[in-house]
């Protein structure tokens, strides 16, 4: 049964939205990672959360996290193995406002203001 798409809460915007291999590849294609996929990599691989904990932070079901995470891992593998450029953008998300019970982050509002100003790069 279809359920309404729910925005995934993300607590972090990456400093770098674009990565390029040092050696130009013959292949022109580029891998696009969504900000939601990025967030699962950050929470699970960088912060060491379980998929369940990640789902709590992002306010989605664990099974949804699993799908997103699998997709994210596949894309990162493609980047590394094929030597492709990577861009991070878009996705079905909303920026955390530090309101959530499970939110361990600080300064989300500040990040959001910066993002609305289109000012990613100055985040320290
Ligand atoms: Zn947050």
Three-state helix/strand/coil letters over 9-37: EECCCCCCCEECCCCCCCCCCCEEECHHH
pTM above 0.85, yes or no: no
How does pLDDT run across 33-78, given as a tens digit for each residue?
Answer: 999 999 999 999 999 999 999 999 999 999 999 999 999 999 999 9
The average pLDDT across 80-93 equals 94
* Residue 123 · residue 15 · CB < 8 Å: yes
Nearest to 85, CA basis, from 98, 74, 73, 75: 75
Q: How far is the CA of 106 from the centre of ligand 1 (A)?
A: 6
What is the per-residue pLDDT for 97?
Answer: 81
Q: Which two tokens stand for residue 113?
A: 């203001």
Q: How far is the CA of 52 from the centre of ligand 1 (A)?
A: 16
- Of the chain, the percentage scoring pLDDT greater than 90 comes to 64
Q: How far is the CA of 69 from the centre of ligand 1 (A)?
A: 19
Separation CA 16–CA 87 (nearest Å) = 9
Q: Which residues contact 105 (CB under 8 A, 6 or more apart)?
A: 11, 12, 96, 98
For residue 121, what pLDDT band results from cuts at 50, 70 and 90? very low
Q: How far is the CA of 97 from the centre of ligand 1 (A)?
A: 6
Mean pLDDT of the chain: 84
Is the model more confident about 99 or about 36? 36
Separation CA 15–CA 86 (nearest Å) = 14
Q: How far is the CA of 12 from the centre of ligand 1 (A)?
A: 7
* Residue 111 · residue 12 · CB < 8 Å: yes
Is the model more confident about 3 or about 87? 87
């Amino acid at each position: 049964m279809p359920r309404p798409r729910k925005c995934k809460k993300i607590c972090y915007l990456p400093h770098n939205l674009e990565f390029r291999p040092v050696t130009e590849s013959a292949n022109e294609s580029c891998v696009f990672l969504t900000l939601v996929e990025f967030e699962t990599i950050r929470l699970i691989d960088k912060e060491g959360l379980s998929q369940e904990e990640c789902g709590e932070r992002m306010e989605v079901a664990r099974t949804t996290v699993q799908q997103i995470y699998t997709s994210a891992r596949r894309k990162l593998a493609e980047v590394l193995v094929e030597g492709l450029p990577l861009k991070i953008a878009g996705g079905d998300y909303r920026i955390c406002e530090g309101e959530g019970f499970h939110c361990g982050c600080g300064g989300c509002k500040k990040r959001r203001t910066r993002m609305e100003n289109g000012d990613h790069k100055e985040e320290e």
